[in-house]
Amino acid sequence: MRKTLLPLAFVALPALAMADLRLPPKPTMMEKLGRGVANVTLAASELFDSPYMATQEGGGTYGDTFGFTQGLSRMVMDTGIGALEIATFFIPTKSMKMPAHDTGQVEPYPPADLKDNWY
């Protein structure tokens, strides 16, 4: 029993010490630049990846038609978004998440449509 608990403690205690409940940090300029460079350089891989995945899903004709079209559109989008991120990496961006919103208004209980049927 002791031989089992000692290795388990070596694994579990550092994990508990490193636990962090904060929100993730805001993206930095360098992350935005790196994401843009990755999008531009890897966009051409969509021409090969999308037809392959579509062929696995629906067969050869489906992969050659839909997969190629999807890969081409994804390549164009990734290249455009990547170029835009490279061009604007020095401009700070705001998070797309909406903050939690509390109006402070208390709703009546029971709701108005259940007042007649409330037992």
Rounded average pLDDT per 10-residue block, the chain, 119 residues: 75 68 71 94 94 92 94 96 94 68 66 66
Q: Which two tokens stand for residue 14?
A: 């550092």
> What is the model's pLDDT at position 79?
96
3-state secondary structure the chain: CHHHHHHHHHHHHHHHHCCCCCCCCCCCHHHHHHHHHHHHHHHHHHHHHHHHHHHHHHCHHHHHHHHHHHHHHHHHHHHHHHHHHHHCCCCCCCCCCCCCCCCCCCCCCCCHHHCCCCC
Rg (the chain; Cα; Å) = 26
> What is the model's pLDDT at position 99?
61
Does the pTM of the predicted model rise above 0.75? no
**For residues 78 and 47, what is the distance between their CA atoms, to the nearest angstrom?**
12
Closest by CA position to 53, among listed 41, 38, 70: 70
> What is the model's pLDDT at position 34?
93
> How far is residue 19 CA from its own chain's centroid?
21
> What is the model's pLDDT at position 14?
73
Closest by CA position to 34, among listed 42, 46, 22: 42
